[in-house]
C-alpha cells in the first residue's frame, strides 16, 4: 500500500486557458484538496445537493474550488457558476457520463471542462448521448463514437470512474490485462488527459481496487486522483437521500448497482486529507486539475439573434422601412385615423419608440417577430390580437405583430420596454394550437436547426407531493399521509410551503406536536420540498441564438417536434443573454378558426369576425345576460356574476373586469359596478387625476394609471414611472420611502402642493399593488369580445367547434349540450353513417330549430381517430344497413370490440338497425374474441343463424326503443352523460317540492357550509379512506349539474341502484371559483317518483 506514484499534470494549450480572467486578484490559492465529483439536485435520480448550499459549505471550509458533475446533464451549470463566482469559489463544470461499450456493456467516467473548448465539446457529447434517450438514466455515450471522433475530447479532463469505470470494472473482476488495455485506450483517446480515480466512501472491495489501481498507475504511467462522490450535504441527510432514490427508483451511479453509503456527504478538506494521507499524490492532483480548469461563462452578455435577411448593421434601416410600409397598410385598412392631427400623434409615437429600440439594439428582435407572425398569417394560422405588455407597443401594432391600437386604448410603451432599465424585450404571441408547431418549425428552418431550441423547465417537489412521496418512502400509511397532505392549503398563483402551513393551520400544528409519525413525515417532507424532480419542455419558450446553441448547452430531442430542447431554463437563458420568444398555443383561436372557416354547408362566418366590430347589440346583449359559456375569460361563475352587475356596454368594461377579477383586487369589482351605475359616488382623491382615473370611475385598476399619475403629478419620466410601478408592485419599503420623497419634490417643481402630492402618493401606494397590466387586459378583452360576437351571431358553428375541441372532457360537452338546447340548437346522436371525428354543424330549412350538430364519433369513449377513419373509409362505398353489415366491412384490427360496444351503447346504430341496443350487445358478445367479425358472420350464415348481407339499400329507422335505466346507463358509459333524456326528469316535480333549487343553483348561490337540501339520481357509489377514516361517497346528478356527497359508510352499504333518486340534507362546501361543490350529508332518504 506504500506505492506513491508521481503527481502528473497534462500539458494544456492556450485555447484551454481561456477564462482565467474571472479569478479574483491574486488568483485562487489552492490548498491540499478540491472536490471534483458532486451530484446536485439536477441529478434527478440520485442527487439532492442544492448548489447554493454546496458553494456556501466550500467557502466556509476555505476550499478555493468546487466541481459540479451531474449525471448526464449540465442543467445546473449556469446557476452553479454564478453562485460560485459570487462566493469567490472557482467553479469547475463537468459531467458524470454513462457509457455504452462496443458489446453493450455499461460503465461511467467523469469529464471536466478545462475551458470554453472543453465545455463546447462536452455539450456535443451530451447531445449525442441524449439523441435516443427519454431520461438522463437512459442516455449513453457510445464509446465507438468517441473513437471515431477523437477531437471531441479536446479540452476535457477524463477521470476513470473508479469502481464503475471501464478500467475499474476490469480491476474489480481481477482482469489486469483488460484493465491495462482499457487505460491505454483512454490515454490514446484523451491524448494523455486521463486519470485513474480513487475513492474511499464505504463501498465493498475499495481497498483491493485501490491497491491494484496503484499498480496499474505505475505500469501504465497514468496519474491517480482522489475523489469523493458527493450525493448529499450532511450525514443526517442519508435517510432523505434514500427517500429520494426510492422516489425516482434510481439505480447506482453507473446503472449496475443500487448502492449508496452514509459516507457520500460533503466532506471537509481535513477529512479528505486524512482519508488519503497514504497517497499524497492523489490529493495533489485534485489541485492540479483545478488549476487546469478555467471555464469562463459570459454571463450578462446579450446574444441578439440576427434577422435572416440582413446583418446587424442594416437592421435599423430595414426596420424603419418596415415601419413605413406598416403605417401605410394600417391607414389603408382604416385602423389608423386619417385626420392630420391624429396621424401626427401616431408618427411622433412611432419615432419615439423606434429611437428607444434602435438605441437598445433590439431592431432585429422586432424584425424576427414580425417575420414569423407575417408567415403564420399568410398561411392561415390564426394569431392572437396580443398578449402581455407587448400590446402597448405601437411599433408592434404597425408591424402586424399585434392587433391592439395602443393609443386608442391608452397603453404605454415603457411598460413593455424601459430605456432606463435595460432588460430583454418579451413579446408573447398566441397561435392556434394546430398551427403553433408549424410556426416553430418555420423559425427553425429559417434561422438554422442548430440555432433554435425550446427552453426546458424543471418540476420541483411541492408541499403536498413531498408529503405523499416521503410517506411512501418511509412507510407511513396512506390514510395518515393523505390526511396531512390535505391540511396543506392551496392558493392560486401562490406556493405554500410546509413551514407556512405549520404556522397557519392549527390542525397540522396540533398533529405535528402530538404524533411522532406525523412529526417524522413532516420533517422529512420539509427537507425534500423544492428539490428538482423532473424536466419538461417549456409551454412556449423558444430561443433563437446568433450561434450554435451547442456552444452554450447540450440539446435533447422531443418526440412531438423536430426542434430540440435545450438544457437551459428561462433564468439560465436570461443569464447567458439569449433572447427568448414565446410561441404559445391558445385553443380559443383554434375554435374561432373552425367557426370562421364555415364547417356547415352553405354558410360561412365572415373573416371580419376575427377582428370584431366596435359595437354589436347581440354580442353585448349576450355579455349583459352573462350567457358566456365557452366565451374566452368570461365563463366562470364569479365572472358571470360580475357581468350581470356591470352590464357592460363598451369594450372598456370588459377590460376593467378582466383586470379586476383576480384574488387581490376582486373586492373592487362591486365598487366599480356601483360607480358605473351611479349608485356609489365616483370619488377621486384629487381632481387632477380625473383625466387618468375617469375611465374606471375613480378606481385605480391598471398599472398604466400608476405610471401616468407619476408623470402628471410627480414629474417622472416614462422610464422612471415604470421603475416606480415595479417598486410599488413589489412593496419594497426602502425604495418606497425614496420614491415618496422624489414624488413630492417632483410635484413641487410642477407647482403642486406637498399635501396633495402626499395624498396622491398614499392613494397610489394603497392600490398599486393590485394594479394589472392594461396591455394584457385589453388584448384578452378584445379576444373575449370576438368570441362573444361569434357565439351570438353563429351559435351552431361556435358550439360545434367548442365541442370538437373538448373531446374527452365529457362534463364540458354536457354543459355545452345544455347551452345548445337553450339556444334551440339540436344535438343529433352519434351515427355510423355520418362518421366524422369531430362535431359537425348542419342546417335544415324546414326545421324550427336554429340548426343542428351531428355528434362527433371521437367523443364516444374508446373510439380514436384511426377507428373513425376506418369507419369513414368503409362508409364511402355505401351506407351501412345494420350491425352485421358494419361488422362485415370494417377492419377488426383497427376498430376494436370495445369501440363497437361503445358505439352501440351510444346509439350510433339506432338509425340503421331495428334491433334494440341490448340485443345488439348480446350479438356482439356472442362473437369469440379470437375470431374476426367477418369470419364469425360467415360461420353464422353457414349454420343458418344469420341472414345474407345482400341488401345494400339504406333504410333509416325511427328510434322508438324504450329507454330503460340500463340503456340510459349505457349512454352514460359511452358518452359520459345521459343523452336521450335525464332520469331525473321522472322525479323533477317531487324534487322541486322538497328542494326548490337545483344543484347548479345551489353551487352558484349557496354560502359556504350552509345547510341545503338537494335531490338527484345516483350515478356512482364508493368508499374513500380519508383522515377521518372511511367515508361513503356518492355522485348525485340532476338535469342541471352534479354534486359529490360524503356520507356515512352504512349509507352506501344499503343497496343503492344506479339511477335511483335520493334526497340529501347536508352542509355544502364550494370551491373558490364556484365550479365544484360537495355536500356532507346529515340525512338521506329515497325520493319517490310522482305518478299522476
Q: What nine digits make up the cell of 551?
A: 456552444
Closest CA to 60 of 38, 94, 88: 88
**Helices 774-793, 587-596: crossing angle, 10 deg rounding:** 30
CA distance 1067 to 1045: 10
Q: Strand, helix or coil at 865?
A: helix
In CATH, which of 3.10.310.10, 3.20.20.140, 3.40.50.970, 3.40.50.360 is domain 31-292?
Answer: 3.20.20.140
What string of H, E and C letters represents the secondary structure of 988-1022?
HHHHHHHCCCCHHHHHHHCCCCCEEEEEEEEEEEE
The torsion angles phi and psi of 437, rounded to 5 degrees, stand at -65, -30
Give per-10-residue mean pLDDT for the chain (1092 aa): 40 38 47 90 90 94 93 93 94 94 84 94 92 72 89 94 92 92 92 93 89 93 95 89 74 48 92 92 94 90 83 86 93 87 91 92 92 93 91 94 92 89 83 91 91 92 88 82 86 80 88 89 89 87 91 86 88 89 92 74 44 74 93 90 92 94 87 92 85 90 91 90 86 84 90 87 81 92 93 90 90 91 88 89 64 90 89 88 85 88 88 76 72 55 44 34 70 89 86 87 85 88 69 85 82 71 87 78 71 36
Report pLDDT for 822: 87
Domain with CATH 3.20.20.140 in the chain: 31-292
Instruction: Check if the beta carbon of residue 456 is closer than 8 Å to that of residue 543.
Output: no
Residues 6+ apart with CB under 8 A from 697: 672, 675, 676, 682
CA distance 450 to 124: 11
Domain with CATH 3.30.1900.20 in the chain: 312-454+538-589
Report pLDDT for 988: 86
Report pLDDT for 115: 92
Report pLDDT for 941: 52
- Distance in Å from the first CA to the final CA of the chain: 102
Distances (CA, A) of 743 to 420, 562, 642, 687, 702: 17, 53, 35, 18, 19
Q: Strand, helix or coil at 108?
A: strand
The torsion angles phi and psi of 797, rounded to 5 degrees, stand at -65, -40
Buried-state track 942-980, b at ≥16 Cβ within 10 A, e below 16: eeeebeeeeeeeeeeeeeebebeeebbbbbbebbbbbbe
CA distance 1049 to 1062: 16
Find the helix or strand (DSSP H, E) in which 1044 lies. strand 1042-1047
Domain with CATH 2.40.50.140 in the chain: 984-1086
**CATH architecture entry for 462-529:** Orthogonal Bundle (1.10)
Q: What is the CATH number of domain 312-454+538-589?
A: 3.30.1900.20
Domain with CATH 1.10.10.1600 in the chain: 462-529
Q: Which class does domain 984-1086 fall in?
A: mainly beta
Q: Give every strand in the sheet of 579-586, ordered side by side.
A: 428-432, 579-586, 532-544, 452-460, 561-566, 555-558
Instruction: Check if the beta carbon of residue 153 is closer than 8 Å to that of residue 193.
Output: yes
Report pLDDT for 845: 56
Report pLDDT for 885: 85
Handedness of CA 658, 663, 664, 670 (dihedral sign): positive
Report pLDDT for 602: 44
Amino acid at each position: 500500500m506504500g506505492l506513491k506514484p508521481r503527481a502528473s499534470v497534462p500539458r494544456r494549450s492556450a485555447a484551454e486557458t481561456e477564462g482565467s480572467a474571472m479569478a479574483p486578484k491574486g488568483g485562487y490559492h489552492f490548498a491540499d484538496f478540491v472536490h471534483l465529483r458532486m451530484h446536485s439536485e439536477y441529478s434527478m435520480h440520485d442527487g439532492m445537493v442544492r448548489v447554493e448550499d454546496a458553494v456556501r459549505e466550500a467557502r466556509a471550509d476555505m476550499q478555493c474550488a468546487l466541481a459540479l458533475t451531474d449525471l448526464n446533464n449540465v442543467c445546473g451549470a449556469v446557476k452553479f457558476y454564478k453562485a460560485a463566482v459570487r462566493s469567490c469559489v472557482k467553479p469547475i463544470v463537468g459531467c458524470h457520463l454513462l457509457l455504452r461499450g462496443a458489446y453493450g456493456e455499461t460503465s461511467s467516467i467523469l469529464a471536466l471542462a478545462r475551458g470554453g473548448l472543453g465545455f463546447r465539446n462536452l455539450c456535443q457529447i451530451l447531445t449525442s448521448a441524449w439523441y435516443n434517450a427519454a431520461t438522463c438514466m437512459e442516455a449513453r455515450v457510445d464509446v465507438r463514437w468517441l473513437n471515431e471522433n477523437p477531437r471531441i475530447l479536446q479540452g476535457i479532463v477524463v477521470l476513470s470512474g473508479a469502481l464503475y469505470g471501464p478500467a475499474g470494472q476490469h480491476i474489480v473482476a481481477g482482469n489486469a490485462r483488460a484493465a491495462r488495455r482499457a487505460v491505454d485506450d483512454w490515454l490514446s483517446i484523451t491524448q494523455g488527459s486521463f486519470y485513474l480515480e480513487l475513492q474511499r466512501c464505504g463501498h465493498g472491495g475499495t481497498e483491493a481496487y485501490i491497491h491494484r489501481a496503484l499498480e496499474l498507475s505505475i505500469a501504465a504511467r497514468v496519474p491517480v486522483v482522489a475523489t469523493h462522490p458527493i450525493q448529499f450535504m450532511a450525514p443526517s441527510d442519508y435517510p432523505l437521500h434514500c427517500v429520494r432514490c426510492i422516489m425516482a427508483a434510481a439505480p447506482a451511479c453507473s446503472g449496475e448497482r443500487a448502492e449508496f453509503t452514509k459516507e457520500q456527504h460533503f466532506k471537509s478538506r481535513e477529512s479528505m486529507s486524512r482519508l488519503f494521507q497514504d497517497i499524497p499524490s492523489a490529493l495533489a492532483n485534485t489541485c492540479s486539475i483545478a488549476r487546469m480548469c478555467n471555464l469562463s461563462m459570459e454571463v450578462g452578455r446579450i446574444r441578439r439573434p440576427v434577422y435572416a435577411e440582413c446583418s446587424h448593421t442594416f437592421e435599423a434601416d430595414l426596420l424603419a422601412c418596415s415601419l413605413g410600409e406598416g403605417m401605410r397598410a394600417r391607414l389603408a385598412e382604416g385602423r389608423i385615423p386619417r385626420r392630420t392631427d391624429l396621424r401626427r400623434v401616431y408618427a411622433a409615437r412611432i419615432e419615439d419608440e423606434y429611437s428607444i429600440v434602435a438605441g437598445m439594439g433590439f431592431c432585429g428582435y422586432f424584425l424576427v417577430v414580425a417575420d414569423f407572425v407575417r408567415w403564420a398569417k399568410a398561411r392561415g394560422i390564426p394569431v392572437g390580437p396580443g398578449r402581455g405588455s407587448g400590446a402597448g407597443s405601437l411599433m408592434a401594432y404597425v408591424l402586424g405583430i399585434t392587433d391592439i391600437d395602443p393609443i386608442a386604448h391608452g397603453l404605454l410603451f415603457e411598460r413593455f420596454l424601459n430605456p432606463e432599465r435595460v432588460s430583454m424585450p418579451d413579446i408573447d404571441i398566441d397561435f392556434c394550437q394546430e398551427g403553433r408547431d408549424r410556426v416553430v418549425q418555420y423559425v427553425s428552418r429559417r434561422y438554422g436547426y442548430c440555432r433554435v431550441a425550446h427552453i426546458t423547465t424543471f418540476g420541483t417537489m411541492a408541499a403536498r407531493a413531498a408529503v405523499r412521496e416521503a410517506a411512501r418512502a418511509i412507510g407511513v400509511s396512506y390514510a395518515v399521509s393523505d390526511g396531512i397532505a390535505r391540511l396543506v392549503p392551496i392558493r392560486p398563483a401562490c406556493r405554500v410551503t410546509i413551514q407556512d402551513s405549520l404556522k397557519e393551520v392549527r390542525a397540522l400544528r396540533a398533529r405535528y406536536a402530538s404524533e411522532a409519525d406525523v412529526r417524522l413525515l413532516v420533517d422529512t417532507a420539509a427537507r425534500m420540498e423544492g428539490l428538482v424532480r423532473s424536466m419538461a419542455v417549456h409551454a412556449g419558450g423558444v430561443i433563437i441564438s446568433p450561434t450554435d446553441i451547442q456552444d452554450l448547452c447540450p440539446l435533447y430531442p422531443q418526440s412531438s417536434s423536430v426542434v430540440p430542447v435545450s438544457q437551459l431554463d428561462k433564468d439560465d437563458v436570461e443569464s447567458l443573454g439569449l433572447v427568448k420568444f414565446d410561441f404559445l398555443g391558445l385553443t380559443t383561436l383554434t375554435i374561432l378558426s373552425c367557426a370562421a372557416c364555415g364547417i356547415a354547408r352553405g354558410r360561412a362566418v365572415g373573416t371580419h369576425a376575427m377582428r370584431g366590430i366596435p359595437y354589436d347589440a347581440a354580442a353585448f346583449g349576450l355579455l349583459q345576460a352573462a350567457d358566456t359559456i365557452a366565451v374566452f375569460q368570461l365563463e366562470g361563475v364569479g365572472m358571470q356574476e360580475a357581468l350581470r352587475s356591470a352590464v357592460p356596454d363598451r369594450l372598456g368594461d370588459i377590460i376593467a373586469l378582466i383586470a379586476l377579477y383576480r384574488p387581490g383586487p376582486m373586492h373592487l369589482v362591486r365598487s366599480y359596478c356601483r360607480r358605473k351605475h351611479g349608485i356609489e359616488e365616483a370619488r377621486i382623491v384629487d381632481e387632477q387625476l380625473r383625466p387618468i382615473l375617469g375611465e374606471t370611475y375613480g378606481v385605480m385598476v391598471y398599472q398604466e394609471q400608476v405610471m401616468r399619475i407619476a408623470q402628471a403629478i410627480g414629474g417622472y419620466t416614462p422610464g422612471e414611472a415604470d421603475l416606480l410601478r415595479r417598486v410599488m408592485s413589489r412593496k419594497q419599503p426602502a425604495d418606497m420611502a425614496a420614491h415618496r420623497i422624489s414624488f413630492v419634490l417632483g410635484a413641487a417643481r410642477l407647482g403642486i402642493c406637498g399635501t396633495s402630492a402626499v395624498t396622491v402618493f398614499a392613494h397610489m401606494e394603497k392600490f398599486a399593488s393590485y394594479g394589472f397590466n392594461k396591455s394584457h387586459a385589453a388584448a384578452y378583452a378584445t379576444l373575449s369580445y370576438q368570441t362573444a360576437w361569434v357565439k351570438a351571431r353563429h351559435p351552431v358553428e361556435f358550439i360545434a367547434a367548442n365541442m370538437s375541441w373538448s373531446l374527452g372532457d365529457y362534463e364540458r360537452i354536457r354543459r355545452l349540450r345544455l347551452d345548445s338546447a337553450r339556444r334551440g340548437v339540436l344535438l343529433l346522436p352519434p351515427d355510423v353513417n355520418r362518421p366524422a371525428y369531430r362535431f359537425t354543424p348542419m342546417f335544415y330549412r324546414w326545421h324550427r330549430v336554429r340548426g343542428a350538430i351531428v355528434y362527433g364519433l371521437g367523443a364516444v369513449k374508446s373510439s380514436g381517430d384511426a377507428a373513425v377513419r376506418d369507419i369513414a373509409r368503409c362508409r364511402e362505398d355505401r351506407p351501412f344497413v345494420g350491425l352485421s353489415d358494419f361488422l362485415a366491412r370494417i377492419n377488426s384490427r383497427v376498430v376494436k370490440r370495445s369501440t363497437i360496444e361503445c358505439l352501440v351503447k351510444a346509439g350510433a346504430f339506432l338509425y340503421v338497425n331495428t334491433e334494440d341496443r341490448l340485443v345488439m350487445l348480446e350479438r356482439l358478445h356472442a362473437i369469440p374474441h379470437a375470431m374476426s367479425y367477418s369470419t364469425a358472420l360467415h360461420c353464422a350464415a353457414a349454420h343458418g343463424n344469420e341472414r345474407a348481407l345482400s341488401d345494400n339499400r339504406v333504410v333509416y329507422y325511427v328510434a322508438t326503443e324504450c329507454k330503460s335505466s340500463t340503456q340510459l346507463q349505457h349512454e352514460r358509459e359511452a358518452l359520459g352523460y345521459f343523452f336521450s333524456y335525464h332520469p331525473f326528469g321522472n322525479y323533477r316535480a317531487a324534487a322541486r317540492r322538497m328542494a326548490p333549487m337545483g344543484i347548479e343553483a345551489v353551487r352558484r348561490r349557496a354560502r359556504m357550509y350552509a345547510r341545503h337540501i338537494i335531490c338527484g339520481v345516483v350515478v356512482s357509489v364508493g368508499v374513500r379512506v380519508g383522515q377521518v377514516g372511511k367515508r361513503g361517497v356518492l355522485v348525485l346528478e340532476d338535469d342541471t349539474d352534479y354534486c359529490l356527497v360524503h356520507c356515512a359508510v352504512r349509507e352506501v352499504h344499503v343497496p343503492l341502484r344506479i339511477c335511483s333518486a335520493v334526497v340529501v340534507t347536508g352542509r355544502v362546501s364550494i370551491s373558490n371559483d364556484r365550479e365544484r361543490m360537495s355536500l356532507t350529508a346529515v340525512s338521506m332518504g329515497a325520493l319517490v317518483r310522482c305518478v299522476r
